Amino acid sequence: MKNPSSVSYAWIAARSRNAIRRPGLMGIAGGTAFIAALIAFILVPRQDAPKNLPTETVEIRPESTSIVVVRDEAAAQVALADSVLAIARRSLAVAVAPPADTFPPEAIARRDSITDVVATLTRLITRAETSPLSSSYRALAESPYVADIPQVKILLDSLGEIEKEREAFGAVGAVDPVYVALTARATAIGRGIQGLADRRRGELRAQLNLLRPVASTPVTSSSVDTMMYLARRAESDKIRFGAAQELQRIRQKNAQIDQQIARVRDVANVDAPPLAMLAAATILALAVGFAVAFAYELRQPHIADSREAEQFTRARVITIVKPSEVVERARRRSDEQAPPLIDVVSENYKNLYMHIAGSETPVPVITVTGEEPAIVAAVAANLAAAAAFEARSTLLVDVDPTTSTIAGVLRLRANPGFADVMAGATPWPEAIVPTTIGRDRPLDVLPSGTGRVVHPDGPAINAIQGGFQRMQRRYDFIVIAAPLSFVQRDAMSIIPGPDIVLCGRIARTKTQDFAAAAESLRGINMHIHGLVLWDEELPRIETAEVRSEKVSAQANLSFAGESS
């Protein structure tokens, strides 16, 4: 399948996603660009510094201290002249006092009347203060000078009612609490009458003050010679204006010199701020890293999604294996010892198994193949686990002795295995290892064994084919994990069935290689049931050495526990 004839938006978007998924390549290219940018930002300007030395001559700033002194002295002379002239103006603006200080007869009569009223009110108020009795307050309220006040009439009526209530107690009322309360109430009313009378007295005194004669002011005349100060002020103002103009010219000159100094400093400055250099280098590194990864992806496109995989291989994508949340399984010892790559609760492998089991023709043997042995082993093991979980008698076979990935996925021994069966050293039943999926689902595994790949001849191939036929009669479902090299050997292939599941890795499997693998499988009459795309990190599979060390450590711990 060739690349699209025209570069479309979807094609560019897919290449961009694959480029971002290559942090290693982006890190190498970006790190190199980051270091190179820092070296360029620091060393190159220093090497070119002698060439960039400023040739512009900076002028000397003009002296302005003497001009400021002259301006201040002139301003002081102007202020002095203004103060003297202001005094002269005020002396000329004084009004001439009236020649006579007499009252008309009407004003004199009114003043005397108000004075008598004030004296009478003062006497009554003094009596009420010195003798706070109901009679004193009543005399003050009945005075004609306060009787016209509405509040006084109301208070006088209240005072009369209280006096009537007090008379009902007679001579023994002094010890009665009600009598005491009435007395206090009468005193409060009297104080209110006294306050209103005092306010009326204050109003009368204010009217009396308005009838006082105004004192006359003597006529004064100014003897200040203002012509001298006017001439001095005009001269000082002229000097001050000239000094201000000169200072403005000096300020403009200094501003030009500041701009000139800034230009010279920019030319001579060879060191940028460290944060600015780091930010620029970081941005450049990110851009270069992405550009390199994007260029690599454009040159060698990789599978980006299911649409591209189906477009290039002309096969259907059955499932996409993505990172899943780790389910906490620690309630039983069998759960703690379960292989971490086996996920019996994932819908991906259940859908894969249901797709194969639901085909029109029965599929007793399915071969899982691909370029990545770890992905092939993980998919094949989980497919077999899904079949075993559905209560089907399942056999999982690993035919690649160079990697022994199935044994690593399921944490089983690798020897004896399929290599020993092909060599005739071990029969099939002795090489098969039984294991358990989950808690009680049995699964038989034929590991690959260890050693180099041996291509069998005709009689050995017939023997292997016969062994697979016997296994098909014994098991309901057989899953074979095989590399592409085993499957693509047409006449010399040991694969017993034509049914294939092709595995690829998103952003890692090249589109051309994936398409070529699909076409080569179709060329040898293999039937591709579907594609499985791996969309996460490569599975970590334990090697045989690590597994043997763990087995030895567990044996030593068990022996130490029994000894103690």
Q: What is the mean pLDDT of the chain?
A: 79
The number of folded domains in the chain is 2
End-of-domain residue from the set 170, 193, 210 = 210
Considering the chain, what percentage of its residues have pLDDT values greater than 90? 12
197: left (phi over 0), alpha (psi -120 to 50) or beta: alpha
Residues 202 and 327 in one domain: no
Residues 315 and 456 in one domain: yes
194: confidence class by pLDDT, cuts 50, 70, 90: confident
Q: Is residue 234 part of a domain?
A: no
Residues 465 and 355 in one domain: yes
Residues 182 and 319 in one domain: no
What are the φ/ψ torsions at residue 100 (nearest 5 degrees)? -120, 150
Residues 202 and 311 in one domain: no
Residues 443 and 321 in one domain: yes
Q: Once rounded to an integer, what is the mean pLDDT over residues 452-461?
A: 70
CATH number at residue 460: 3.40.50.300
End-of-domain residue from the set 154, 189, 210 = 210
Separation CA 87–CA 365 (nearest Å):
124
Q: Which is higher by pLDDT, 249 or 274?
A: 249
297, pLDDT greater than 50:
yes
Helix, strand, coil percent values for the chain (each to nearest 5): 60, 10, 30
Q: Is residue 221 part of a domain?
A: no
515: confidence class by pLDDT, cuts 50, 70, 90: very high
- By C-alpha distance, which of 473, 489, 425 is closest to 451? 425
Separation CA 147–CA 155 (nearest Å):
11
481: confidence class by pLDDT, cuts 50, 70, 90: very high
478 DSSP β-pair partners: 365, 395
236, pLDDT greater than 80:
yes
- The beta-strand segments (E) located in 152-229 are none
The conformation of residue 109, written as its DSSP 8-state character, comes to H
Residues 356 and 483 in one domain: yes
Separation CA 12–CA 2 (nearest Å):
16
Q: Using one digit for the tens of pLDDT, what is the confidence trace for 17-69?
A: 888 888 888 889 888 988 888 888 777 665 655 555 555 566 787 877 888 88
Q: Is residue 71 part of a domain?
A: no
Instruction: State the residue range of the domain holding 523.
Output: 306-563
The conformation of residue 490, written as its DSSP 8-state character, comes to T
Predicted pLDDT at 233 = 82
Residues 400 and 527 in one domain: yes
| Residue 228 in tokens | 């001298």
Q: Is residue 242 part of a domain?
A: no
538, pLDDT greater than 80:
yes
- Total residue length of the chain: 564
Predicted pLDDT at 414 = 83
What strand order describes the sheet that includes 317-321? 317-321, 527-534, 499-505, 365-370, 477-481, 394-398, 441-446, 433-437
Asked whether the CA dihedral 480, 486, 489, 492 is positive or negative, the reply is: negative
Predicted pLDDT at 384 = 92
Separation CA 330–CA 31 (nearest Å):
42
Q: Is residue 151 part of a domain?
A: yes
Predicted pLDDT at 376 = 93
Residues 508 and 359 in one domain: yes
Residues 203 and 312 in one domain: no
Does the pTM exceed 0.75?
A: no
* Cβ atoms of 74 and 237 closer than 8 Å: yes
Q: Is residue 229 part of a domain?
A: no
Predicted pLDDT at 269 = 59
In whole angstroms, how far apart are CA 62 and each of 59, 131, 251? 9, 89, 9
End-of-domain residue from the set 188, 210, 232 = 210
Separation CA 527–CA 447 (nearest Å):
25
User: Which residues are CB-contacts of 125 (< 8 A; sequence separation ≥ 6)?
Assistant: 140, 194, 197, 198, 201
* Cβ atoms of 375 and 539 closer than 8 Å: yes
503, pLDDT greater than 50:
yes
Q: Is residue 326 part of a domain?
A: yes
518: confidence class by pLDDT, cuts 50, 70, 90: very high
Q: Which is higher by pLDDT, 159 or 238?
A: 238
Residues 373 and 495 in one domain: yes
Burial class (CB in 10 A: 0-12, 13-18, 19+), 90: exposed
Residues 555 and 410 in one domain: yes
Q: Using one digit for the tens of pLDDT, what is the confidence trace for 160-180?
A: 888 888 777 765 555 667 777
4: confidence class by pLDDT, cuts 50, 70, 90: very low
Q: Is residue 379 part of a domain?
A: yes
Q: Which is higher by pLDDT, 98 or 157?
A: 157
Q: Once rounded to an integer, what is the mean pLDDT over residues 135-151?
A: 81
489, pLDDT greater than 50:
yes
* Cβ atoms of 133 and 124 closer than 8 Å: no
Give me the helices (H) in 424-526, please. 428-431, 458-474, 484-487, 511-523
319: left (phi over 0), alpha (psi -120 to 50) or beta: beta
